Structure 1
Amino acid sequence: MTELTSLFQGLYLVADPYNFMLMAIGVMLGLVVGLLPGLGGANGIAILLPLTFTMSPTSGIIMLASIYWGSLFGGAITSILFNIPGCSWSVATTFDGYPMAQRGKAAQALTASFTASFIGAFFAVLVITFLAPLVARFALQFGPPEFFGVMLLTFCSFIATSKESPLKVLSSMTLGFALAAVGLDMVTGDLRLTFGTSEALRGIYFLVAVIGLFGIGEILLTMEEGLVFRGKEARINLKVVLQTWKEMPRYWATILRSAVIGCWMGITPGGATPASFMSYGIAKRFSKRGDEFGKGEIEGVYAPETGNNAAGTSALLPMLTLGIPGSPTAAVLLGGLMIWGLQPGPLLFVEQKDFVWGLIASMYVANLVALLIVLTTVPYLAAILRIPFSIIAPIIIVLCSIGAYTIANEFGDVIYMLIFGVLGYFFKKLSYPLAPLVLALVLGGMAEGAFRQSMLMSQGSLTIFWSNWLVGSIVTLAVILLFWPLISAGIASLRTRGAGVPRESL
């Protein structure tokens, strides 16, 4: 009941005309970001974050969150009409969405996609509304050892769940830790990794690195690929929407199952991309029409879109309650909160109650606003993709440069941004994941601080991380996840050997 009262107070904040206007603008910007292949929510928020520096934290986070919701919806448009995933989590949508468009059912596919996105995100927001306060109250019991254990668990979960090589994930994360350590040691005052340069004394701003890694890196990669957009036309009318909604209850089990999978993958954190593929694969396995998947089956659109939106939204739960981002986009939002002087975690629900519930309330409203906008503006949004990339690319680069310079009014940050852009380009060319690097860059300092406080408390003994059942179970689980690739490889090897032994020899 307390949660509902707080939620209504948050809705009052969202109903402010200024905040509602920012929400609508954010949704539209997010849709454009989602449309442009490769940008995605993390990139869009990183590029546009400087626009919110003059706003209050509540207004700023409402706009940034709305950009995120819009990007979650927008990626499906390119997937269905052009067979080009706007975001990585929209790849699975192309499997059946584009074949439907080829068969003249683009409007039905888009309606199904937008509706599934709305349902997935709405389900995840409900989970956040009722689960976040419980997690936050539980997390108030955490001390430095527990916080370090949670961060260690987050780092190790990336190694265990990532589809990339564990060595590549670990390498990317290690570089992020090194970048987070640049500058002054806040405990001893010593210089670290400055290499004699005065500009490195202030460290590397998280946002400068993110703008370069995601924004500039993706532009360089897209320029190399030379994308030319050619796709199917789609016009959604009320008759198509109502007909699609009328048939939707037939797939309630798939939608509900995908929403649960998405929430789990968002909180753990597995991410929206694995959630979409997992939802699609399980839907195909359990569907009576599983053989038709990949040929234009609408159930193959419902499943991944519900899963990826549920995952993308629920990833904000650990970010708000524990200060641990569940996705790259949540990591960028975490950086934004820290720039405004807010520290995500359990105390946020006590010290900044209006801010938290204003954000949660905006999730409900922005999700509905995004659904209404995409249903009415698809033809115009799709037309953006017919603008030559030679025009779009310079505009994005200028926005990135302005954003990097605005952070501290230092031209050196623009140079850093370009360096990180080249680094991001090579990371993507070599299939190194950027998410672990971003995660380590954001949380590296906090993890180091929690670890050093724990060492001071225990006078240098690592046994403090097994001093009670809570921190002991968290750290033990983290260690298991760290070595999970080796454990799973060993189990697979034993099964292979067992399968190869002749029955007569047993």
Structure 2
Amino acid sequence: MEALSSLIHGFAVLSDPMNILYMFIGIFLGVLIGVLPGLGGANGVAILLPLTFSMSPTSAIIMLSSIYWGALFGGAITSVLFNIPGEPWSVATTFDGYPLAQKGRAGAALTTAFTGSFLGAFVATLLLTFLAPLIAKFALQFGPAEFFAVYLLTFCSFVGMGKESPFKVISSMMLGFALAAVGLDTVTGQLRMTFGTVELLRGFDFLVAVIGLFGVGEILLTMEEGLAFKGKTAKINPKVVLETWAELPRYWVTAVRGAMVGCWMGITPGGATPASFMSYGLAKRFSRNGARFGTGEVEGVLAPETAAHAAGTSALLPMLTLGIPGSPTAAVLLGGLLIWGLQPGPLLFVEQRDFVWGLIASIYMGNIAGLIVVLTTVPLFAAILRIPFSIIAPVIIVICAVGAYTVHNALLDISIMLIFGVLGYVFKKLHYPLAPLVLALVLGDMAESSFRQAMLVSQGSLTIFWSNPLVGSIVTLALVMLSWPVISLFLQKLRSPRKPDAPVVAG
């Protein structure tokens, strides 16, 4: 009941007409960002974050989160109509979405994608509403050792649960830690890795780095690939929507399974992309029409979209309650909270009640508004893709430069942004993941601070990380996650049957 009364209070906060306006502006911009390949939820939030500096934190986070929901919806449009994933998690949607469009059922494919996204987000928001306050109350018992253990679990989970090579994940993370350490040591007051440069006293600003890594890096890669848009047109009318909605209840098991997979992958640092692929694979495995997947099945569109939106929404749960982002976009939003002077974690639910519940209420309203917006504006956003990419790319680069400059009103930040853009391009070319780098850049200082506080309390003894069952179990789980690639390889060898010796043939 307490959660429901808090949620009602959140809707009261959201009832401010300006907040509703910001929500719709955010959704519209988010759909636009999701439609344009080369951008994405994390990129769009990072680029547009400087626009919110003059807003209140509540209005700002409502607008930024709405950009994210809009991007989740918009990524399906290019996947279905153009066979170009507007977002990484929309790749699985192309498998059946584009074949459906080629069969003349683009409206049904888009309606299925948007409805699946809405359902996945709704389930994840219910989880966020009722679980977040409980986790926050539990986390109030945490001290420096417990917080470091949770940070360690997050870092190790990226190594153990990620699809990329553990070596590449650790390398990316180590670079993020190194960049986070540049500047003034807040504990001793000493300078670290500034090389006598005054400009590096404040370190590498998280926002400038993210704009470069995601925005500029993705544009450089897309320009190299020479992207051209060729696709189908689509119009969604009420008849198509109602016919598709009448068909979808047949696949309720697929939708529920996709939402569960998405929520799990969002809370753990899996993210929307692996969630969409996992949900698609499970749907193909258990569906009666699994053999026809890839030829234009509605179920093959519903599964990945439900999981992706559930993962994107549930990633806010660990960010708000523990200060640990479950996705790159959540990491960008976390950086925004820190810029506004808010400390994500259990105290946020006590000290910033309006902010937290206003955000949760905006997720409910944002997804309803997002569904309405995308169902009514598909032809408009599809037409945008007919603008030559040679025009779109420079505009995005200029927006990135303006966003980087407005952080500190410093021209140096534009140069740093470009350097990070080249770094992001190199990482993508070499298939190194950017998410661990961003995570380490955001959480590096907080993890270091928690570790050093724990060491001061224990007078330098590492036994503090096993001083009680809670911290001991978290650290042990983190070490298991870190070693999981080796453990899984060992288990695989044990399970694989030994090949029998070849019979000797007499000559």
Name the TM tier (shorter chain): over 0.9
Note if 1:34 corresponds to 2:34: yes
Q: Distance in 2 between matches of 1:367 and 1:502?
A: 60
Q: Report the equivalent of 2:86.
A: 86
Partner of 2:224: 224
Q: 1:101-140 alignment to 2 at 5 Å?
A: 101-140=101-140
2:441 match: 441
Q: 1:133 to 1:502 in 2, by over 3 A?
A: farther
CA distance in 2, matches of 1:122, 1:111: 16
Alpha-carbon distance in 1 for matches of 2:255, 2:501: 45
Mapped to 2, the partners of 1:326 and 1:229 lie a distance apart of 32
Q: Is the 8 A contact 1:73 1:114 kept in 2?
A: yes
Cα deviation, residue 191, structure 1? 1.1
1:331-480 paired onto structure 2 within 5 Å: 331-480=331-480
> Distance in 2 between the 1:281 and 1:155 partners?
27
* Residue 498 of structure 2: aligned partner: 499
1:211 aligns with 2:211: yes
SS class of match (2:385): helix
- Tell me the equivalent position of 2:286: 286
* C-alpha distance in structure 2 between counterparts of 1:409 and 1:327, whole Å: 28
User: 1-side partners of 2:424 and 2:107: how far apart?
Assistant: 36
SS in 2 for 1:483: helix
**Is the Cα contact below 8 Å between 1:151 and 1:324 reproduced in 2?**
yes
Give the whole-Å Cα distance in 1 for the aligned partners of 2:474 and 2:493.
28
- Counterpart Cα distance in 1 of 2:500 and 2:312: 45
Equivalent-residue separation in structure 2 for 1:14 and 1:396 (angstroms): 31
2:320 paired residue number: 320
1:494 Cα deviation after fit: 2.8
DSSP-derived class of the 1:218 partner: helix
| Contact kept? 1:259, 1:306, Cα under 8 Å | yes
- Separation (CA, whole Å) in 1 of partners of 2:23 and 2:353: 20
In structure 1, what residue type is equivalent to 2:385? L
Question: What corresponds to 2:250 in structure 1?
Answer: 250
Map of 2:200 onto structure 1:
200
Deviation, structure 1 residue 390: 1.3
Task: State the alpha-carbon separation in 2 of the partners of residues 472 and 27 from structure 1.
Answer: 43
Partners of 1:15 and 1:405 lie apart in 2 by: 33
Give the alignment of 1:156-195 within 5 angstroms.
Answer: 156-195=156-195
Contact residue 38 and residue 88 of structure 1 kept, 8 A: no
State the alpha-carbon separation in 2 of the partners of residues 453 and 285 from structure 1. 49
Deviations 1:173-227 (CA, angstroms, capped at 9, x unpaired):
0000000000011111111111121111111100000000000001111110111
Shift of 1:493: 2.3
Give SS of 1:295's match: coil
Residue type of the alignment partner of 2:19: N
Q: Which amino acid aligns with 1:193?
A: M
Distance 1:167 1:360 in 2: 37
Find the aligned partners of 1:416 and 1:436 in 2 and give their Cα distance. Answer: 20
- The CA deviation at 1:144 is 0.4
User: Which amino acid in the other structure matches residue 500 of structure 1?
Assistant: K
User: CA separation in 2, counterparts of 1:108 and 1:215?
Assistant: 32
Partner amino acid for 1:215? G
C-alpha offsets along residues 84-127 of structure 1, whole Å, 9 cap, x if unaligned?
A: 00000000000000000011100000000000000000110000
Aligned residue in 1 for 2:490: 490
Report what 1:53 is aligned to.
Answer: 53
Cα drift, residue 345 of structure 1:
0.2
User: How many Å apart are 1:148 and its aligned residue?
Assistant: 0.3
Deviation of 1:400 after TM superposition, in Å, equals 0.7
Q: Quick one: distance in 1 between partners of 2:330 and 2:289?
A: 36
Cα offset for 1:338? 0.3
Structure-1 separation of matches of 2:261 and 2:422: 35
Structure 2 residue matching 1:142: 3-state secondary structure: coil
Residue 499 of structure 1 aligns to a residue whose secondary structure is: coil
The Cα of 1:495 is off from its aligned counterpart by 2.8
Q: CA deviation at 1:503?
A: 12
Give distance in 1, aligned partners of 2:161 and 2:229. Answer: 33
Offset of residue 499 of structure 1: 3.0
- Amino acid in the other structure paired with 1:481: M
* CA displacement at 1:25 relative to structure 2: 0.4
Cα offset, 1:38, TM superposition: 3.1
CA distance in 1, matches of 2:177, 2:27: 33
Gaps of 5+ in 2: none
SS at match of 1:63: helix
Instruction: Report the AA paired with residue 199 of structure 1.
Output: E
Q: What SS class does the counterpart of residue 344 from structure 1 fall into?
A: coil
Give the partner amino acid of 2:461.
Answer: S
The CA distance in 1 between the partners of 2:182 and 2:140, in whole Å, is 30
1:425 to partner: Cα distance: 0.4
Amino acid across the alignment from 1:499: R
1:191 is matched by which residue type in structure 2? L
Distance in 1 between residues matched to 2:303 and 2:478, nearest whole Å: 30
Q: What is the distance in 2 between the residues matched to 1:285 and 1:124?
A: 24
CA-atom RMSD, angstroms?
Answer: 1.1
Alpha-carbon distance in 2 for matches of 1:437, 1:422: 15
Q: Which residue of 1 aligns with 2:146?
A: 146
Q: Give yes or no for contact 1:66–1:366 (8 Å, CA) kept in 2.
A: yes
Whole-Å separation in 2 of the counterparts to 1:332 and 1:202: 19
Contact kept, 8 Å, 1:36 with 1:86, in 2: the verdict is yes
Cα distance in 1 between the residues matched to 2:66 and 2:15: 14
Alpha-carbon distance, 1:502 to partner: 5.9
Q: CA offsets per residue over residues 258-316 of structure 1, 9 Å max, x none?
A: 10110011001211001000100001111111111011010000000000000010000
> What SS does the aligned partner of 2:498 have?
helix
Q: Partner residue of 2:302?
A: 302
Q: Which residue of 2 aligns with 1:9?
A: 9
> Amino acid of the residue matched to residue 134 of structure 1?
L
Segments of structure 1 that go 5 or more residues without pairing to the other structure are: none
Q: Deviations over 1:222-242 (max 9, x none)?
A: 110111101011100000000
Distance in 1, matches of 2:493 and 2:10, equals 53
Q: What secondary structure, in the 3-state scheme, does the structure 1 residue paired with 2:342 have?
A: coil
- The one-letter code matched in structure 1 to 2:53 is F
Give runs of ≥4 in structure 1 deviating > 2 Å: 493-496, 498-504
Structure 1 partner of 2:22: 22
Counterpart in the other structure of 1:272: 272
CA distances 1:454-476 after superposition (whole Å, capped 9, x unpaired): 00011111110011100000000
In 1, Cα distance between the equivalents of 2:123 and 2:141?
Answer: 28
| Cα deviations by residue, 1:365-399 (Å, 9 ceiling, x for unpaired) | 00000000000000000111111111111111111
